[in-house]
Amino acid sequence: MRFKEKVIHSFFFLNGVLVVIILLGIFALLVFTSIPAFKEIRLSQFFFSGIWNPDAYVKPAYGIVSMLVSTFLITFGSLVIAIPLGIGTAAYLSDLASPRVREIAKPIVEILAGIPSVVIGFLGIVVVGPVIAKIFGLHNGLNALNGSVLLAIMALPTIISLSEDALKSVPKSFEQASLALGATHWQTLIKVKIPAAFSGIIAACMLGMGRAVGETMTVLMATGCAPAMPQSFLDSVRTFSSTIAIELGEVPYNTTHYYALFAVGLVLFIITFMINMASDIILHQYRKVTK
Amino acid sequence: MRDSLVKSDLVKIKVENLNFYYTGVKVLKNITIEIKKNLVTGIIGPSGCGKSTFLRTLNRMNDVVLGAKAEGKILIDGKNIYALDVDVVAIRRKVGMVFQKSNPFPKSIFDNVAYGLRINGIKDKNYITQKIEKSLQDAALWKEVKDRLNKSAFDLSGGQQQRLCIARALAVEPQVLLMDEPASALDPTATAKIEELIQRLKEKYTIVIVTHNMQQAARISDHTAFFMQGVIIEHGLTKKIFTKPVNKITEDYITGRFG
């Protein structure tokens, strides 16, 4: 009996350790494969130059700034669209919708999260792109704005679902106190419920953002992928993830270019890791306060 | 002294043939009662008798409950609050409420009391500051919190939190104060403070208080209404209800034979 107990114990322990080892392994792989890149690329060039042109005959350039700007541009754009829409929907579901509507709508929203990104990318090419091209009078609609719209669609389920949970977990007594003081439902929502659920909502947005930053296929399909410094939302952009996806398949093995792509991956990994970590800390704080 | 007060005859709230339903189940049956101005009316009765529901019909807090329906009239200063053209928000500003469990907002002490003023569109900082001091004084909390108004309301003790909730309700200048077992979660010292406060508040407000505690009802209320199974069994001067109840059931209840 004792023996069996021990076997089970160590089985689950190993499972837990394995996950950590895999994570560390990925990190180590990225780090060690990135290092050789910096034998030829100066760190200052890598981090501060806006020119990414690894295939140049004379002077290959390995600057990630344009990708960094691109990534942040579409992430920022997607959040500007997704946050108000997401919080609004969450507030509707938690406060205004009848129980019937909520029971149907919430699972649908959650299923939205499961739509493959390639399908969303398809949507970007055949629907969002032409619409943007028409509105702004462009030749094509494959640009940062398109990517932002699509990423917003992808981030919405996370933001809606978690924000709704946060709003739902605001104690009923706050709402009652507010209503009893003569506040309207609207005032109660804006001044009591959303502030009380604030950290939960922030965490939801951060997780939504984490998804947007690392998303590859959608962005690859819908943003045009020009490796240049974007001037506006109507320019074609190329993010960290799409650069890796496009180039890694064709790059000669063990060249500076090859290593440089790993370095790009490392930067992306660190960014998403920090976002997820921050949202986790906020969420944790929030659970402590409400308990 | 108490008797002279009890003779006050101004009617603040008049409830006429009130029936109340939760999803078709009748929980209040034909309630008719007059609540006098500037007196404390205690509502007593066993659990589930409808006393809290009754209290919540007086500021229409039941409206938020799904499937709740009221029939009959509740006249406050002669105006039916269940009339179709009535603004529910205005009623709740006139009829304040303190809940069983203290429920301050997760905000500072200052912002808690200021909340009711701000949602009324008051922006004048001086006015708000003065009003907050006044309300906290009226709720006998000022001395304890005046140096930490910007601290979280959650740092206060249970009794202090409940007095903060009273201050918050007073800040919007209601005329009636409804209290739903305001001391049931408090220790005896904090309870005594709340009771003392209620005695002082009735000079300015009409108070209706639901209580589970027989002694408390006897101590603080001028009138007492005894509810059972959604019906008022007996209503009258507290002294009379507790010494010479007319109804046998009332007598059994107040002497602790059931409940």
Alpha helices of A181-222 — where are they, by DSSP H?
185-187, 194-196, 198-214, 217-222
Contact B92 A179 (CB under 8 A): yes
Q: Which residues, including other chains, have CB under 8 Å from residue B15's CB and lie 6 or more apart? A: B31, B32, B33, B34, B35, B72, B73, B74, B75
What are the backbone dihedrals phi and psi of residue A169, each rounded to the nearest 5 degrees, phi first?
Answer: -85, 0
Q: What is the mean pLDDT of chain A?
A: 91
- Is the Cβ pair B96, A181 closer than 8 Å? yes
Residue A58 confidence class, pLDDT cut points 50, 70, 90: confident
Residue A282: band (very low, low, confident or very high) from pLDDT cuts 50, 70, 90: confident
**Can you tell me the distance from the alpha carbon of A71 to that of A147, in angstroms, rounded to the nearest whole number?**
10
Average of pLDDT values for B15-39? 93
Structure tokens at A105: 């709508």
Query: What residues of chain A lie within 8 A of the CB of B59, using their CB?
Result: 180
Task: Give the model's confidence band at A288: pLDDT under 50 very low, under 70 low, under 90 confident, else very high.
Answer: low
Is B171 in contact with B128 (CB distance < 8 Å)? Answer: no
B223 touches B247 (CB < 8 A):
no
Distance from CA of B3 to the nearest CA of A (A): 32
Task: Give tens-digit pLDDT for A220-234.
Answer: 999 988 888 999 999
pLDDT band at B8 (very low <50, low <70, confident <90, very high): low
Is the separation of the CB atoms in B155 and B161 below 8 Å?
A: no
**What's the whole-number average pLDDT of chain B?**
91
Cβ <8 Å between A195 and B106: yes
CB neighbours of B37 closer than 8 A, spacing ≥ 6? B8, B10, B11, B12, B206
Average pLDDT for B215-236: 93
Q: Where are the domains of chain A?
A: 2-34, 44-290
A→B contacts (Cβ < 8 Å), by residue, are 99, 171, 173-174, 176-184, 187, 191-192, 195-196, 289
Specify the CATH architecture of the domain A44-290: Orthogonal Bundle (1.10)
Tokens of B192: 């005594």
Partner-chain residue, chosen from B61, B89, B172, that has the shortest CB–CB distance to A176: B61
CA dist B191 → A120, A132, B158, B198 (Å) = 61, 66, 10, 11
pLDDT band at B61 (very low <50, low <70, confident <90, very high): very high
Whole-number pLDDT of residue B4: 42
Are the CB atoms for B236 and B245 separated by under 8 Å?
A: no
CA closest to A197 among chain B residues: B106
* Phi, psi (deg, nearest 5) at residue A140: -145, 165
Across the range B34-51, mean pLDDT stands at: 93
CB B92 within 8 A of CB A177: no
Q: How many CB pairs under 8 A join A and B?
A: 65
Kindly report the nearest CA distance between residue B217 and chain A, in angstroms. 24
* Mean pLDDT value across residues A36-45: 91
Nearest CA in chain A to B91: A182
d(CA B62, nearest CA chain A) in Å: 10
Nearest to B119 among A176, A182, A195 (CB): A182
E strand or H helix that includes residue B206: strand B206-210
Closest CA to A213 of A288, A130, A133, A269: A269
Contacts of A204 (CB under 8 A, 6+ apart): A86, A90, A158, A159, A161, A162, A163, A166
pTM value? 0.80
Are A177 and B99 an interchain contact pair (Cβ–Cβ within 8 Å)?
A: yes
User: What is the arithmetic mean of pLDDT over B1-13?
Assistant: 62
Cβ count within 10 A of residue B240 = 14
A291 has pLDDT over 60: no
In degrees rounded to 5, what are phi and psi of residue A82?
A: -75, -35
CA distance A211 to A275: 10
Domains of chain B: 2-102+174-254 (3.40.50.300)
Give the residue from B54, B37, B33, B52 showing the smallest Cα distance to B176: B37
Maximal CA-CA distance, chain A? 75
Distance from CA of B214 to the nearest CA of A (A): 26
B97: chain A residues, CB-CB within 8 Å: 180
Per-residue tokens: B69: 């329906």
Q: Does the pLDDT at position A243 exceed 70? A: yes
Q: How far from A254 is each of A39, A64, A261, CA to CA, in Å? A: 13, 20, 11
Helix pair B125-138, B158-171: axis angle to 10 deg: 130
Q: Do B59 and A180 touch (CB under 8 A)?
A: yes
Tell me B61's DSSP state.
Answer: G
Q: Which amino acid is at B252?
A: D
Distance separating alpha carbons of residues B147 and B132, to the nearest angstrom: 13
Return the percentage of chain B with pLDDT > 70, whole number.
96
Nearest to A173 among B89, B101, B115 (CB): B101
Query: Cα A144 to the chain's mean position, in Å?
Result: 15
pLDDT digits (tens, 9 = 90+) for A188-239: 999 999 999 988 899 899 888 888 888 899 999 999 888 889 999 999 999 9
Mutate to test the interface with A, among B119, B152, B173, B179 (most CBs of A within 10 A): B119
CA A259 to chain centre: 25
Residues from B contacting A (CB-CB < 8 Å) are 59, 61, 64, 66, 89-90, 92-93, 96-97, 99, 101, 103-107, 115-116, 118-120, 165, 168-169, 172
**Nearest in space to A149 (alpha carbons), one of A232, A224, A80:** A80
d(C-alpha B209, C-alpha B73), whole Å: 20
Among B239, B206, B225, B208, smallest CA distance to B33 is for B225
One-letter amino acid for residue A99 of the chain:
P
Interchain pair B89, A180: CB under 8 A: no
B89-109 tens-digit pLDDT: 999 999 999 999 999 999 999
Predicted complex: ipTM over 0.85 = yes
Whether the predicted pLDDT of B5 surpasses 80: no
Lowest mean pLDDT among A14-18, A109-113, A145-149, B111-115: A109-113
The type of residue at B48 is G
Cross-strand bridge partners of residue A224: A237
CA distance B147 to chain A (A): 24
Q: Does B93 sit within 8 Å of A195, measured CB to CB?
A: no
Do A91 and A194 form a contact (C-beta atoms < 8 A)? yes
Stated as kind and residue range, the H or E segment containing A170 is none
DSSP state of A139: S
The predicted pLDDT at position A287 comes to 63
Rounded to a whole number of angstroms, the distance from the CA of A285 to the nearest CA of chain B is 14
Calculate how close chain B gets to A68, using CA atoms only, in Å.
Answer: 39
Q: Which residue in the set A173, A187, A196 is minimally distant from B119, CB to CB?
A: A187
Residues of A with CB below 8 A from B106's CB?
174, 195-196, 289
pLDDT (tens digit, 9 = 90+) per residue, A79-124? 999 999 999 999 999 988 888 999 999 999 989 888 999 999 999 9
Residues B191 and B159: their CA atoms lie apart, in Å, by 7
* Chain A neighbors of B119, CB-CB under 8 A: 178, 181-184, 187, 191
Q: Which residue of A has its CA nearest to B90?
A: A182
Q: How far is B119 from chain A (nearest CA, A)?
A: 6
Is A145:A128 a contact under the CB 8 Å cutoff? Answer: no
The predicted model gives B159-171 an average pLDDT of: 94
Residue B11 burial (CB < 10 Å; 0-12/13-18/19+)?
middle
Tell me the β-bridge partners of B206. Answer: B176
- Rounded to an integer, what distance in angstroms lies between the CA atom of residue B11 and that of residue B42? 15
Residue pointed to by tokens 């179709």: B84
Query: In this predicted structure, what is the pLDDT of residue B48?
Result: 87
Chain B residues lying within 8 Å of A192, measured CB to CB: 105, 115
